[in-house]
Structure formats: structure tokens, C-alpha cells
Amino acid sequence: MQTIEQTFQVQYSYAVYFTQHLFSLSNPLLQQFFEKTNTETGFQRKALVVVDEGFSEHHPELGRELSQYFATLIPHIQLAPEIITVPGGEACKNDVAQFDKLVKAVDVFGIDRHSFVIGIGGGALLDLVGYAAAVSHRGIKLIRIPTTVLSQNDSGVGVKNSINYKGKKNFLGTFAPPVAVFNDLTFLRSLDDRDWRSGIAEAIKVALIKDAAFFEWIEEHTAALAGRDEEAMAYLIHRCAEMHTDHIAGGDPFEFGSSRPLDFGHWAAHKLEYLTNFEVRHGEAVAIGIALDCVYASKINMLPEAGLQRILDVLARLGFELYHPRLSENDKINLRNGIQEFREHLGGQLTIMLLEKIGKGVEVHELDTEVIAQAVDYLETLPQLTESRILH
């Protein structure tokens, strides 16, 4: 029998919107999106809303605002009678029961492939909601409404969804783009200082590997960013999101290869999160991972010393701690195990992004464990900003 060769392409398109007071009746942005997508008739389209518990506590009027907005401006979309709340942070990705809860809600409320699942929360919640939406009915339309700096400038604008499983971060997941992302700057006002700062790490990451001018802008605006200046943060989020979406569109969006430039600083960060039982937040771990990889690059004479000091200075002035005792536990064996786990996560050859200079990353395919240990020791000897901010 003759072999049948199959080739086809699927085009994805979605917008990342930037706004304020998204659910105000005077803001027609969400209404306009649903009107634009209302091209099919003859059946009832629905929307299931899933909200981060922490965000909901800071916004007790959210349920009323949503009900009023949909009833007044989007009457052709039937809002599910219950807003589902789940714990925020990595807790929701670690608990399979939360995934089961969302799938049950999809079933109970009749959310079909022509309907929408709307996730409102930080990156971990959006990962969970996106995964549940992607595997229910083989894919329900997903709308992301990120509520943290980290999710607005990084995870919330991408195409990945996941939960943690078998003690491994993002072990179960999908590549499934949203149909839209809505970034509301006012939602960031409820963040504590740690979460405000945490998301800046991802902007530093993408600036270091792709855009020296953007890093210089961050360098010049550390005081404003640390001081919660909304105008500075709005620019940082927009530029970072722009660079992430450009990378996704121009590269390997579903990661068929082993190259992961946007995972710069992440191999150690993922392991540190688990070693600390997620007490260290993702952005904080990424800041430490960036620092570790930059020290490593300097020690192998790849990154000039002047560049290293600029990077460490920016991270420190933003308030990041650059060392955690768990990095050194068991003679650093736990950290070294993270290299193998990261290779397995890539699904092929180990590929780690290191810096040649600010604004230019290069990929390497092996790391010297002795140099890693030296880099950890280097970070341990750095003066920390304050004793009270050292992460335990």
C-alpha cells in the first residue's frame, strides 16, 4: 500500500489588550471583543469565570461587577451562575483536585467548544485554567486576564498551560493559545511588594538575552520600579510582553526543538522553587537563577566582569536577594540534579542560555558542575541588602 503523507498548517491569532478598569460599564473593550467574535448564531454561548482566591479577596465587588457587565453590555453571552475560585500561586498547580474541580464545572455548566473559559489571576492560576480548558472537549476558548506583573508581561501572554505532577514543575501541560489577553494595570495595585517586584525578573531576563537598550532602561528606572511607579511599570510590562509575543511568533512556539531562550535563568529557578516548597516565588527564583548563570558565564570567561556587576547591581537595587541556603544543601547535589531534570523537560539535548554580553545570549549544551558550585559560593558571599529580606 502506498504511504499517505499528511501536511497542514493551523493559523493562530490573538491580541494582548492593555487597559484600566476592565469591568467598568464605561469601558467597552471586553464588549467589543465579544461582539467581534460573535460570528456564529443559532446556539447559546456561555462563559465560565475562574478567579484567584487572593485576588477575589482584594476585590469583593468582582462578582457583582462581572454580572452587571455581562448583563448590560454582553447579554448574548450567558455567564455561568457560579464564579469558581481556586487558590493562587503554585498551590493550585500542585493539587490535582483543583484541576478536577474546573473540569467538573465545565461539565456541570455546559461549557462547550463555542463557549469561553475566563481565567482571572496570576500566572499559576492561568496555567491551571488554561490546561483545564485545553483538555476539556479537546479545547475550549480561553481568555486570560492576568492580575500580576509576572503574568501580564510573561506567562499570561504566551501559549503554554500546565500543572505540576509527580514532583516536577509543569510535567503535564499543553500548547494552546488563548483567544485574547486583557492586561488591566489597575489590578496590580493589590499586589504586595514581593509580587510587584517578582515580575520584573522576567523583564530583566528577556532584556539581557535580546535587547541591551531595554536593560539600560530598566537600569535607569530601578528606583521608579522599586517605588511602584505605575507609568514605569506600564512601559516595562508592554515592552516585555511585546518581546515575548514577537519571540513566539518568530521562533518555535510549540517548542519542537530543544532551544528555549526564554528559559534563561530557569533551570536553577525551577529547582529552587521545589527545594523551598515554593516559598520562593517564581520571579524571585528567576532572579537568583539569572544571577547564578551570569556568575557562571563570567567564571568561564564568557561574560565580562563589568557586565556581571551591572546585572547584579540592578537585581540588588530592585530588592532581589541573590542567594538562598537551599542552593548549597547536600553539597549542592540537589541543585545539580536540576540540570538533569531540565534536560528531561526540554525533551532532548541539554540547551542552556548563557550571556556573552548584555543583550546577547548564546546557547551551550553542557554545564561544569564544579563551576556551578563556585558560582553558588560567589553568590553566598555577596552582601545581602537587609537581613530581614533574606529568603528562608
Residue 284's CATH number: 1.20.1090.10
Asked whether 95 and 127 are in contact (CB, 8 A), the reply is no
Please report the pLDDT score of residue 92 as a whole number. Answer: 93
Please report the pLDDT score of residue 260 as a whole number. Answer: 63
The count of structural domains within the chain is 2
Min mean pLDDT across 109-123, 243-257, 295-309 is at 243-257
Task: Assign 255 a pLDDT band (cuts: 50, 70, 90).
Answer: low
Q: What cell numbers appear for 254 in the block?
A: 510549540
- Of all residues in the chain, the percent with pLDDT exceeding 70 is 92
247 found inside a domain: no
- Structural domain span for residue 280: 193-241+256-383
Q: Are residues 227 and 363 in the same domain?
A: yes
pLDDT at 276 over 70: yes
Residues with Cβ within 8 Å of 82's Cβ and at least 6 positions away in sequence, in order, are: 105, 109
120 found inside a domain: yes
62 found inside a domain: yes
Whether this prediction's pTM lies above 0.75 is answered by: yes
83 DSSP assignment: -
Q: Are residues 218 and 179 in the same domain?
A: no
pLDDT at 390 over 60: no
Asked whether 118 and 48 are in contact (CB, 8 A), the reply is yes
Q: What is the CATH number of the domain that holds 40?
A: 3.40.50.1970
Q: Are residues 98 and 160 in the same domain?
A: yes
3-state class of 377 per DSSP? helix
DSSP 270-296: HHHHHHTTT-S-HHHHHHHHHHHHHHH
3-state class of 166 per DSSP? coil
Query: For cell 537581613, what's the residue?
Result: 387
Task: Assign 218 a pLDDT band (cuts: 50, 70, 90).
Answer: very high
Average pLDDT of the segment spanning 212-240? 97
Query: For cell 549544551, what's the residue?
Result: 365
pLDDT at 325 over 80: yes
d(CA 101, CA 89): 17
Burial of 81 (0-12, 13-18, 19+ CB in 10 A): exposed
Q: Are residues 152 and 184 in the same domain?
A: yes
Helix axes 282-299, 266-275, angle to 10 degrees: 130
d(CA 72, CA 380): 57
d(CA 315, CA 364): 24
Q: Are residues 147 and 25 in the same domain?
A: yes
27 found inside a domain: yes
Please report the pLDDT score of residue 392 as a whole number. Answer: 34
Q: Are residues 147 and 61 in the same domain?
A: yes
- Of all residues in the chain, the percent with pLDDT exceeding 90 is 69
Q: Are residues 274 and 177 in the same domain?
A: no
308 found inside a domain: yes
Query: For cell 510535567, what's the residue?
Result: 171
pLDDT in tens, 132-185: 999 999 999 999 999 999 999 988 998 999 999 888 888 899 999 999 999 999
Residues forming a β-bridge with 77: 45
d(CA 283, CA 264): 12
7 found inside a domain: no
212 found inside a domain: yes
Average pLDDT of the segment spanning 193-215? 94
Q: Are residues 307 and 363 in the same domain?
A: yes
Burial of 187 (0-12, 13-18, 19+ CB in 10 A): buried
Residue 204 host element (H or E): helix 200-210
Q: Are residues 235 and 301 in the same domain?
A: yes
pLDDT in tens, 330-360: 877 788 777 777 676 656 678 889 999 999 9
Query: For cell 481565567, what's the residue?
Result: 119
pLDDT in tens, 13-26: 899 999 999 999 99
Q: Are residues 203 and 112 in the same domain?
A: no
pLDDT at 46 over 70: yes
d(CA 178, CA 157): 8
d(CA 41, CA 28): 22
1 found inside a domain: no
Angstrom CA distances, 217 to 211, 222, 236, 340, stand at 10, 9, 9, 35
Is the Cα dihedral 99, 100, 101, 102 positive or negative?
positive
Q: Are residues 168 and 309 in the same domain?
A: no
Which of the listed residues 190, 210, 230 is the one where a domain comes to its end?
190
Angstrom CA distances, 330 to 57, 203, 326, 372, 373, stand at 40, 32, 9, 14, 12
pLDDT at 37 over 90: no
Q: Are residues 224 and 157 in the same domain?
A: no
Residue with more model confidence, 350 or 300: 300
Please report the pLDDT score of residue 240 as a whole number. Answer: 93
